[in-house]
Every structure is written in C-alpha cells, then in structure tokens.
A and B are shown apart, each in its own frame.
Chain A
C-alpha cells in the first residue's frame, strides 16, 4: 500500500489496526473457549454467565483417558486414601475409574484412536509427499506429451466429494478386506493428498534453477545423484510445507474415517463426536479430547508459519 503520509491516511491506518485486532479476537474466541473448557471442573463448564476465571484442573484429561462409572455411594475414606492422586480427582467429580479384575486401570477408547490418527496421518503424509515430490520433479524437468491434461487429471481427483468416492471404495475394500484397517485409510488419504502434493511440489520444483543439476551432471553425477544430492536439499522448504498440508488434511478427515472404520482402525474425528451420546454430555471431557487433538496442528501451524504462507499462496497462484 502507499506509504502513510497524510493525517487522513494515518487515522485510517489506526482504524485498520483496531479492526484487525477485533477480528482476530473474534476468530480466536472459539478456540480459546475449547482450550479453557478442557481445564474446567465439570460444574463450571456450562454456567451462565460463563466462567472465565477459575482454578484450572486436569480432571477432564483423566476422565478422557480412563473408563469411568458414576459412583452410587461416596467413596469410603479407605478407598479414597488407597487411590492414586489422579483417581481422586475423578472421585471428587462423583465418578470412579473402572478397573479390571486384576486391578488394572481400564483405558478409554481415546488413546488408541489418537494413536490410529497418528499412524494413518503420518504414513499417508510420507507416501503422498514422497510420491508427489518425484512426480513433480518429473513434470518440472522432462518433456511430457499432454502434460497439462495429465496435471489436470491429477488435480481432478481432488474435486470429488468424499462421499461419492466412498461408496465404491467401501464395496471394493469389503471384497479385498481393507475395511477397518490402517492401510485402508492410509491408501485413501494418500490418493487424496497426492494430487495436492504434486501441484504444490511442482511449483517449488519449477523455482529451482535447472542449471544446478546441469552443473552437477557436467561434474559427473548421474541424474539420480543430482536429484538426491542437489535438488532435494533445495526443495526442503517446499517439502516441509507440503507435508504439513497433507498431514493436516489426513489428520482432520472425517467422512472416509466414519464410513471405512468402526473399531480397530477408527481415528479421532469420528470417535470424539460419537462420545457425546444421549443425555447431558460432559463438555469438559469433550473439550479435553478436542484440545489434545487440535494441539499438533496448532503447533505445526505455528512452527512452520512462514513456509505455510508461502506454500499456500504459491500453490494457489499457480493453479
């Protein structure tokens, strides 16, 4: 924008600053509310007026990770004294942790769903970015007949609504036994992210001067050596940005996970809503599950903010 010179411009600028701050606050308010509810005692989660100042607790997280049952009677002092400190937190909430016959703590479904999310998202990201990087290099450096059509075909695989693809995939997976398996989801997410990965990586590859490899080839490198030793390090930023986008998509995906998995391989996005059930949901536990689930993405976004901004606008301008 033009340099600020006149007093009218300066006051306009002040207005803009105030406006941006207000918008940012409005946009972050729901996320703040999730985070703060995750640390509230249950009775403060749904008060009117809303509770803003409170003593933070970790009991929502204890409840999130363990199976619990409502207490019929208050715990005896002996029971209370015998329980570890984190179980006492749940006693105080009128619930107790369920133990197996041998006295082992029964975990809730959340930890395993979280692990499933990690396994599926990380593996499919590695596959999509790996294949995408190779393919993007191929498209960027070699002459290919019908290049534009092929690239459009690759992009078009991303246009379909997940539900449309999910019906035939469900039938096919049933035949080959991939339903409710990690690999089933990994393959789907890889296919889904691959198109994006190729497009984004092609943008980054096009920016790396061809002369780098040519110099390497003259020095006696083979094409493969030049690719691995010269091009890949140069493309590291792009690979990182692409990886974060693919991870976020796979991490957050809901429709396929809902349709293709039910117990063994279910990820967190269909699991967390299924825990609401009927009656009065414990919003502190749901908030704790949501908060933990959002954390990796929020941290990623923050650590890689500069690459993200570049990656995003970059891919978009080229598309």
Chain B
C-alpha cells in the first residue's frame, strides 16, 4: 500500500519553486500514519496468527510447539465458548435495542421547541464521556440490594440485581443503556434536524396524521444515520469488557471478551487465546459487513 502511495503522481500537483514539492509533503503527511498503524495494529495480528497454531503459554519458558488447527478445532467444538457467544449476542441485542428506544425517544422529544435545549443536550451527553470501568464500579453501589439507591427509589426491597444469575446480564445492559443512549440520541438529533421542514408543512396541508408523518417522513429520512448509530453501538457492545468485568463475576455475564481475557491472562493459554481472538475477529468482520450492506440498502431507498 505504501509503495502505491509513493508512486502515484498527483496530476494537479504544481512543483513549487521553493520548499518541498506537493508530492513530498503528501507522503510526509500520510506515510508515517499508515506505517504507525501497520506496525501497531496489523503486525501484532500477524504475530498472533502465528501463535494461534501453537500450544504456546506465555507463563512458561517452554518453546511453542506447532499444533496446526487443533486450537481452532477444539474451540469450535467447545460448548462453553458457544455459550459465551450466546451471552454476548443476548447482551448486544438487549443493550442496543434499549439504547435505540431510549436514545431515539429522547431525540424526538428534544427535537421540539424545548427551552435550554443546548444545555440539556450537553448534560445528557455526560454519561458517555465517563469511564466505563470507574462508573461501573459505582453502579455496584447503586445496585446494592440492601442500601442501593435504585432499589430504594423503585421500592424493590432487597431485589438482587448483580448476584442473581438471571438478572445480572440485564443489570449490566441497563448500565450500558444509561451510558450510551446519549450517543444514539445525539446522532438521531443530527438526523432529525436534517429533515427538510417543507416535508412536514406539505404533510400538514395534506392533513396527514402524526403516525403517517412519523412513519412516512421522519423515520425513513433518519434511518441511515440511525443505522450508523446501531452499527457503532453493536460493535462496541460486542467488544464489551470493562463494564461486565467490573460489575459482576457471574457465569451468566461472561461475554466473549471476558472469556478471552481469562484464557489469555489468567489461564495463560496464549496460543489457544490467539485462536479465539481470531474467531472473534472474523465474527466482527462478518457482522460489520452485513450491517454495511444493509446500510447501503437503507441509503438507496
């Protein structure tokens, strides 16, 4: 890729009489970034691809033995790994759906004539600016069954959020919804404000009902940007580590990132964890591709 950049001549480039030529400047500006990203993103991945075919353990001085596809075969046949994926999928669906409902709903409200709109929007953005790990820690106190403010406010008595295996995943998702609905809200607001006003005026003249206006005008026009928000949030939720790791240690909240972390840095099965990392990587690429195709479809309409 880097060589391709260097050998392409910009037809519009005018060779400056003094100073560096445009070509030099362009290469100077772009190549360091590309090289940096290759060294620190692509190279490590190639490195770990090699390890994924071995039984290497970073904790022991023993040399790595080549085991071929054994790691991959074992992982794909391991029901526990599949349950980690199932937990991750459930988590992604619950939290992304929650964020879209809350975020889009608030955006619809904020899109009306609201006094102090800018201030309220900024205040609503605060949760997503904070550290997931540190905030997650504090939500432990909020969720506490005996003195947490959530149970007190909702009158739930000593309802168990985090130590109840059936509830823990939803509790993590609720915190995630709290943190990231503002993101969906922000993108939706950008989309809503871009809908041309004359469409609404035309609909009003035609005496279209508010449901018709919403489903025929608002939603289709906001759909592409809402889709972008969903892509971003799905990918982020799929990667979730800190929030679930800090909030609970239930087996029912062991999303794939946590499984991966434990395999690599607690059980020190380095080779095997590299293989799992590759499986995760391929899944993320597949999901992203599906989404992007769907996004293009939404845009065409």
A160 closest partner in B (C-beta): B281
Beta-carbon contact of A298 and B8 below 8 Å: no
- Number of B residues whose C-beta is below 8 Å from A? 103
Chain A nearest CB, measured from B44 CB (Å): 4
Beta-carbon contact of B125 and A20 below 8 Å: no
Beta-carbon contact of A164 and B280 below 8 Å: yes
A1 partner, pick from B1, B37, B200, beta carbons under 8 A: B200
Q: Which B residues, 125 to 141, have Cβ-Cβ distances below 8 Å to chain A?
A: 125-127, 129-139, 141
Which residues of chain B come closer than 8 Å to A49, judged between CB atoms?
152
Chain B 103-119 interface 0/1 with A at a Cβ cutoff of 8 Å (1 = within)? 00010011111110010
Chain B nearest CB, measured from A45 CB (Å): 8
Separation of A272 and B133 alpha carbons in the complex (Å): 9
Beta-carbon contact of B284 and A161 below 8 Å: yes
User: Which of A30-38, A62-70, A81-89 forms part of the interface with chain B?
Assistant: A30-38
Beta-carbon contact of B137 and A224 below 8 Å: no
For residue A12, CB closer than 8 A to chain B, the reply is yes
Q: Which B residues, 184 to 243, have Cβ-Cβ distances below 8 Å to chain A?
A: 186-187, 189-190, 197, 200-201, 204, 225, 228-229, 232, 235, 238-239, 241-242
User: Which of A21-29, A90-98, A104-112 forms part of the interface with chain B?
Assistant: A21-29
Chain B nearest CB, measured from A228 CB (Å): 12
Which residues of chain A come closer than 8 Å to B47, judged between CB atoms?
168, 171-172
**B interface, by DSSP: helix, strand, loop or mixed?**
helix
Which residues of chain A come closer than 8 Å to B124, judged between CB atoms?
23-24, 27
Beta-carbon contact of B133 and A137 below 8 Å: no
Beta-carbon contact of A163 and B260 below 8 Å: yes
Beta-carbon contact of B33 and A19 below 8 Å: no
B186 partner, pick from A24, A48, A259, A313, beta carbons under 8 A: A313
Chain A 255-287 interface 0/1 with B at a Cβ cutoff of 8 Å (1 = within)? 100010000000011101100100000010011
Chain A nearest CB, measured from B131 CB (Å): 4
Beta-carbon contact of A47 and B147 below 8 Å: yes
Separation of A259 and B10 alpha carbons in the complex (Å): 44
A49 closest partner in B (C-beta): B152
Beta-carbon contact of A297 and B130 below 8 Å: yes
Beta-carbon contact of B134 and A30 below 8 Å: no
Which residues of chain A come closer than 8 Å to B139, judged between CB atoms?
30
Beta-carbon contact of A254 and B132 below 8 Å: yes
For residue B22, CB closer than 8 A to chain A, the reply is yes
For residue A16, CB closer than 8 A to chain B, the reply is yes
Q: Which A residues, 140 to 178, have Cβ-Cβ distances below 8 Å to chain B?
A: 141-146, 150, 153-154, 157, 159-172, 174
Q: Given A145-B4, A161-B238, are A222 and B228 also a contact pair (CB < 8 Å)?
A: no
For residue A290, CB closer than 8 A to chain B, the reply is yes
Which residues of chain B come closer than 8 Å to A312, judged between CB atoms?
186-187, 190
Which residues of chain A come closer than 8 Å to B40, judged between CB atoms?
169, 187-188, 191
User: Which of A53-61, A71-79, A128-136, A235-243 forms part of the interface with chain B?
Assistant: A128-136
Separation of A309 and B149 alpha carbons in the complex (Å): 32
Chain B nearest CB, measured from A141 CB (Å): 8
Which residues of chain B come closer than 8 Å to A102, judged between CB atoms?
none
Beta-carbon contact of B58 and A174 below 8 Å: yes
A312 closest partner in B (C-beta): B186
Beta-carbon contact of A135 and B29 below 8 Å: yes
For residue A294, CB closer than 8 A to chain B, the reply is yes
For residue B270, CB closer than 8 A to chain A, the reply is yes
Chain A nearest CB, measured from B276 CB (Å): 9
A50 partner, pick from B33, B109, B138, B152, beta carbons under 8 A: B152
Which residues of chain B come closer than 8 Å to A167, judged between CB atoms?
48, 260, 264, 270, 273-274, 277
Which residues of chain A come closer than 8 Å to B246, judged between CB atoms?
273
A133 closest partner in B (C-beta): B29
Having A37-B141, A160-B281, one finds 18 other A-B pairs with CB under 8 Å, namely A17-B112, A20-B114, A30-B127, A48-B152, A49-B152, A131-B32, A135-B29, A159-B235, A163-B277, A168-B274, A170-B264, A174-B58, A254-B133, A270-B133, A272-B133, A301-B126, A308-B125, A313-B189
Q: 22 interchain pairs (CB within 8 A)?
A: A16-B110, A20-B114, A23-B106, A50-B149, A50-B152, A131-B33, A144-B5, A157-B37, A160-B284, A174-B58, A187-B40, A190-B36, A191-B37, A222-B18, A223-B16, A225-B19, A255-B242, A259-B265, A273-B136, A286-B137, A301-B125, A312-B190
**Which B residues fall within an 8 A CB radius of A?**
1, 4-5, 8, 10-14, 16, 18-20, 22, 25-26, 28-30, 32-34, 36-37, 40-42, 44-45, 47-48, 51, 58, 106, 109-115, 118, 120-127, 129-139, 141-142, 144, 146-147, 149, 152, 178, 181-182, 186-187, 189-190, 197, 200-201, 204, 225, 228-229, 232, 235, 238-239, 241-242, 246, 257, 260-261, 264-265, 270, 273-274, 277, 280-281, 284-285, 288
**Which A residues fall within an 8 A CB radius of B?**
1-2, 4, 12-13, 16-17, 19-21, 23-24, 27-31, 33-34, 37, 46-50, 131-132, 134-135, 137-139, 141-146, 150, 153-154, 157, 159-172, 174, 187-188, 190-191, 194-195, 198, 217, 222-225, 227, 248, 251-252, 254-255, 259, 268-270, 272-273, 276, 283, 286-287, 290, 293-294, 297-298, 300-302, 305-306, 308-309, 312-313, 316-317, 319
